Amino acid sequence: MFRPLLTATFALLVSSLPARADDTEKAMAKIATLGPGVHAIKTDKKGRIVSCVVVGQARISTVLGKSKGLQVARDKARLDASAQYAKWLNEHVSVFESSEDETILFLEGNEENDKAAMKEAGKSVEKQSKKMQSISQGLVRGLQVLHAQQTGDDKTYTIVMGWDAKTAAKIKGIAETDDAKPDDEPAKKPKSKKPDQIEDKSVTSPDAKKFLP
């Protein structure tokens, strides 16, 4: 007599799983529409920044073909996201380093900032110093891809990346990878043909959920 009830319960649980994933994708897509910059900033009770997401965008050019255009747009969107994040760090964030080499971020002018924690962490980093630039580069390396989408109407590639304090702490000290080298020979322009169509498409990482409010 309990079999119908168990079957119905199991079906309900299974049917709810895709919906949750779909909700996460919709939330990421909504953040992507906000445009380039830093969004969804989370802080702890002491005002320390624990996570945020960054949006980067690039135009998709199909002059050299659809595949090459998407490849270039992905790289440019990622660089744009990194640049947006570095700019935000320099303009809106106070950075502190503890005696244990822990990097602590605070939003400037936030009343929730823990003054005691700042004092214990030591002196703040000067905005225009080489040290600040070095710290920014290290924090940028902690960004991970959460969502990517391409739109055919305006041929735009948008990427949403996330930063969280725990992940950044784990990868600290990893050497910065070399920039990709340009091709030995410039790509040849294909013969005139009908422009490739860019279809609407998106993909979301399972890790995206933890960055949502």
Q: What is the pLDDT of residue 14?
A: 41
What sign results for the dihedral spanned by CA atoms 12, 18, 21, 25? negative
> Does the predicted TM-score (pTM) go above 0.75?
no
Q: Indicate the helix (H) or strand (E) that contains 195.
A: none
Mean pLDDT to the nearest integer, 166-194? 53
Q: What is the pLDDT of residue 210?
A: 87
Burial of 90 (0-12, 13-18, 19+ CB in 10 A): middle
Q: How far is CA 22 from the centre of its chain?
A: 19
pLDDT, mean over the chain: 77
What does the domain layout of the chain look like in residue ranges?
33-173+195-204
Q: Indicate the helix (H) or strand (E) that contains 13.
A: helix 3-32
Mean pLDDT to the nearest integer, 16-22? 56
**pLDDT tens-digit profile of 82-118?**
999 999 998 898 888 776 667 788 888 777 787 776 6
CA–CA separation, 60 and 73 (whole Å): 5
